[in-house]
């Protein structure tokens, strides 16, 4: 089985949470599965941008990125990548940290339609990318060597570096690598009916249901690129796509391999 596990910046803010997730990855490897990790860095990137006098702005959950913002995102994500690989090293999980430009080709996203003051307009997200192709050979080689690739979502179109939403990157890689499951570890227990009520999680959603929840505003912010990423991974053939809470003190990843996963499962 090949798993792609994506975790958000908020899910690993706390060193203990990061260690716990990495230890579950170790157990998955020990039970014979292959794992690819992709991580984000949302809150830390916003904090660093503010320190540098930049104003964090997101549209439909995706960060608007100019060249100064890209520098900050690349630096923060690179630092987080090192933190993750250090923890995996300490658990004797062989791994390879890398930026997404080392194993993918990306392209700049088109401006997106937004409604502002009741009027529709096109908003340019700047240096924001999506996955065009994946160097599957490089990733397969790492997996064959028993390594866990640990990827941070700074891509490139060959000319310039692009900031890619971590969920979007994860789905692109999961699809190209034909991963059996993609698991998005975040700071909520799944897709919620009411964001302020953690018990209102939808255990199961179809692609159509996901679309109507975006339409009616139930799904907003960072959950939009996340569910879109899940939908893309399902359409590309992933058997199951799940969202789980990284702050859960119980096992989150292993349970999934046992067939008793928590969180929200998205199916076609």
Ligand X SMILES: Nc1ncnc2c1ncn2[C@@H]1O[C@H](COP(=O)(O)OP(=O)(O)OP(=O)(O)O)[C@@H](O)[C@H]1O
The C-alpha atoms of residue 105 and residue 208 are separated, in whole angstroms, by: 29
Residue ranges of the alpha helices (H) in 91-198? Answer: 136-144, 166-176
Number of H helices and E strands in the chain, helices first, is 8, 16
Stretch that binds Mg ion, among 27-35, 97-105, 153-161, 222-230 (CB under 5 A): 222-230
Q: Mark out the alpha helices in 91-222 (DSSP H runs).
A: 136-144, 166-176, 207-215
Residue with tokens 């964090």: 56
**The tokens of 190 are what?**
């799944």
> What residue 220 binds from ligand X, Mg ion, none (CB within 5 to 8 A, per partner kind)?
ligand X
218 binds ligand X (CB under 6 A): yes
Q: Using the rule CB under 6 A, is 155 a contact of ligand X?
A: no
State yes or no: residue 48 binds ligand X (CB under 6 A). no
Per-residue x/- track, 40-59, Mg ion (CB under 5 A): --------------------
Query: 244 vs 88, 136, 164, 201, 251, CA distance in Å?
Result: 21, 26, 21, 10, 10
Instruction: Please identify which residue in the block is written with the tokens 């080689």.
Output: 141
- Residue 229 partner contact from ligand X, Mg ion, none using kind-dependent CB cut-offs of 5 to 8 Å: none
Is 222 a binding residue for Mg ion by CB under 5 A? The answer is yes
**Which residue in the set 74, 98, 112, 195 belongs to the binding site for ligand X (CB under 6 A)?**
195
Nearer Cβ to ligand X, position 43 or 140? Answer: 43
Query: Who's near 219: CB < 8 A, 6+ residues apart?
Result: 191, 210, 213, 227
Neighbouring C-alpha atoms within 13 Å toward the C-beta of 19: 5
Binding mask 8-37 for ligand X (x = CB under 6 A): xxxx--------------------------
Output the smallest distance, CB 45 to ligand X, in A: 8
Q: Which two tokens stand for residue 218?
A: 């139930």
Positions 223 through 262 that interact with ligand X (CB under 6 A): 223, 226
Binding residues for ligand X, rule: CB under 6 A, are 8-11, 40-42, 61, 166-167, 186-188, 191-192, 195, 218-223, 226
């Amino acid at each position: 089985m090949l798993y792609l596990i994506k975790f958000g910046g908020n899910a690993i803010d706390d060193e203990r949470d990061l260690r716990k997730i990495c230890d579950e990855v170790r157990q998955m490897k020990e039970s014979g599965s292959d794992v690819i990790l992709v991580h984000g860095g949302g809150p830390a990137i916003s904090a660093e941008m503010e320190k540098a006098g930049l104003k964090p702005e997101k549209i439909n959950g995706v960060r608007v990125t100019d060249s100064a913002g890209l520098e900050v995102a690349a630096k923060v994500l690179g630092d987080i990548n090192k933190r993750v690989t250090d923890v995996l090293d300490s658990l004797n999980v062989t791994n390879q940290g890398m930026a997404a430009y080392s194993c993918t080709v990306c392209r700049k996203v088109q401006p997106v339609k937004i409604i502002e003051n009741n009027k529709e307009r096109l908003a340019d997200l700047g240096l924001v990318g999506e996955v065009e192709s994946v160097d599957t050979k490089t990733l397969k080689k790492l997996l064959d060597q028993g390594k866990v690739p640990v990827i941070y979502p700074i891509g490139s179109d060959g000319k310039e570096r692009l900031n890619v939403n971590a969920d979007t990157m994860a789905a692109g890689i999961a699809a190209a690598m034909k991963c059996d499951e993609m698991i998005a570890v975040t700071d909520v227990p799944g897709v919620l009916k009411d964001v302020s009520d953690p018990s209102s999680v939808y255990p199961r959603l179809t692609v159509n249901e996901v679309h109507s929840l975006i339409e009616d505003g139930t799904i907003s912010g960072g959950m939009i690129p996340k569910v879109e990423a899940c939908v893309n991974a399902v359409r590309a053939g992933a058997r199951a796509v799940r969202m789980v809470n990284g702050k859960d003190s119980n096992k989150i990843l292993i349970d999934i391999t046992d067939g008793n996963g928590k969180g929200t499962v998205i199916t076609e």
